[in-house]
Structure 1
């Protein structure tokens, strides 16, 4: 976003404004932090932020700048206008009601999984997942379900990149006892998951959280999304993970058929 030398002035301002919104969304809350993130001077950053505050895209509080209320409405409309989200919502809601656990829907964006929807279960459990959150594909149940059809070399690349990012971030939600396995064991698990058509997350991504995930396919048979059922480990012993696998697979298959997939 910083290479704007060849773009018209209006486009440059638009791109910088969008960069400001992304910077705030990712945790930059002061003018200095936003300016550093987008590569602009303080005066330019101040003008951009002021315009976004005045139009409701950002808000200013005692703790700095946050995303504004206008984006809430836009986000809701974006989800409503997504064919996948619209088709998936009844399937997710029914699965959450039957299981009593939290259900997620995610898609791949680059090397990350993007959570498109989340239906809370009835146990009152809070987890760090949220709609719009991006996380490394290789470390989440939904992400690994999205990886199942990829070649092994891509599995390894995504795995190594995810571990590098996690180490750099100092993720406090993971302890050595619950870290992902070494690459040979990870590869063996993915091959096993690919044969089964379901993925288990055994607290690899978030301490105390386990899930079962399955891929969703389109009319051409390509994996375009994945859904999961997640809960705290006391409610997800290995026996329940195994028992939930057919139900999660059936929900993923139901959504796949909505998208035009047919089992050959």
Structure 2
């Protein structure tokens, strides 16, 4: 499951926009970037980039290295304070761990973020599927099990936007026909589970289920179990994934009721 981009680039007409441009210049595999490379990737003036990087080091957003700069642990600390994802993760983790023990395959937790899935957690053992998904990574909604689970229960406006927009073919098995995708979403609403077989990446199969708000039936998150097609039979784990998603939803509802 490869990752998609982050949408439109940050505007550069404000200081905050320039700071975000520098942060977004770092890719998944970048351990550090030189000042020259940051200038090249951002298009910002060298003096501006140097000044802002210095201020970001002082603010613990970047660390200075021998070769340039790297993202600071302060960003991780801020990310862990994100209240919705943090509380969701605290409640979901026992269910995700139980699901992993049942399936012995990679387990994901994701939330809806714009037109994409944002992966909040990933659990996998030594023999986990070679899926390039990662915690903090993003994927399109239309070609992933978690994405389809979220999209099936999302606002109709978002569904229509996805169905009417471009659906790039990521593999030979990616569903790019809007009518067929719409029928899949209807089946997901009826059965409570979504299947993906080599639609986002070759060799990967997945079964997913949405975590729905008990009151509004809106999607809070979705979970999935993913494995290689040569050994993983997603239909055999549909009940376990659906039950785990339901358990997370019920626990979230109880916690919220206790606070009121």
The two structures have a TM-score, normalised by structure 2, of 0.79
- Higher relative contact order, chain-length normalized (CA < 8 Å, sep 6+): 2
1:131 equivalent among 135, 139, 146: 135
Number of the residue aligned with 2:93: 89
How many residues are paired up? 242
1:212 equivalent among 193, 207, 215: 207
CA distance in 1, matches of 2:84, 2:218: 23
CA displacement 1:155-179 (0-9 Å, x = unmatched): 3531454624x6xxxxxxx443x33
When structure 1 is superposed on structure 2, of 38-47 and 225-234 the one drifting more is 38-47
User: What are the ranges of 5 or more consecutive residues in structure 2 without an aligned counterpart?
Assistant: 1-9, 255-260
Identify if the C-alpha distance between structure 1 residues 44 and 145 changes in structure 2 by more than 3 Å, giving closer, same or farther: same
Identify if the C-alpha distance between structure 1 residues 209 and 160 changes in structure 2 by more than 3 Å, giving closer, same or farther: farther
Number of the residue aligned with 1:255: 248
1:22 equivalent among 21, 24, 33: 24
Mapped pair 1:71 → 2:75: yes
Task: Describe the SS at the equivalent of 1:117.
Answer: strand
1:20 CA displacement: 1.5
CA distance in 2, matches of 1:185, 1:242: 20
Task: Describe the SS at the equivalent of 1:24.
Answer: coil
1:198 equivalent among 180, 193, 202: 193
Mapped pair 1:147 → 2:142: no
Mapped pair 1:104 → 2:108: yes
CA distance in 2, matches of 1:185, 1:108: 22
1:217 CA displacement: 1.3
User: How do 1:45-60 and structure 2 match up within 5 A?
Assistant: 45-53=49-57, 56-59=60-63
Number of the residue aligned with 1:13: 15
CA distance in 2, matches of 1:32, 1:135: 30
Number of the residue aligned with 1:2: 11
Q: Is the 8 A contact 1:217 1:259 kept in 2?
A: no
Identify if the C-alpha distance between structure 1 residues 91 and 26 changes in structure 2 by more than 3 Å, giving closer, same or farther: same
Q: CA RMSD in A?
A: 3.0
CA distance in 1, matches of 2:155, 2:79: 34
User: What are the ranges of 5 or more consecutive residues in structure 1 without an aligned counterpart?
Assistant: 5-11, 167-173
CA distance in 2, matches of 1:204, 1:3: 36
The two structures have a TM-score, normalised by structure 1, of 0.78
CA distance in 2, matches of 1:70, 1:154: 33
1:234 equivalent among 219, 230, 236: 230
CA distance in 1, matches of 2:20, 2:156: 36
CA displacement 1:128-159 (0-9 Å, x = unmatched): 11111111111211111001124666435314
1:105 CA displacement: 0.5
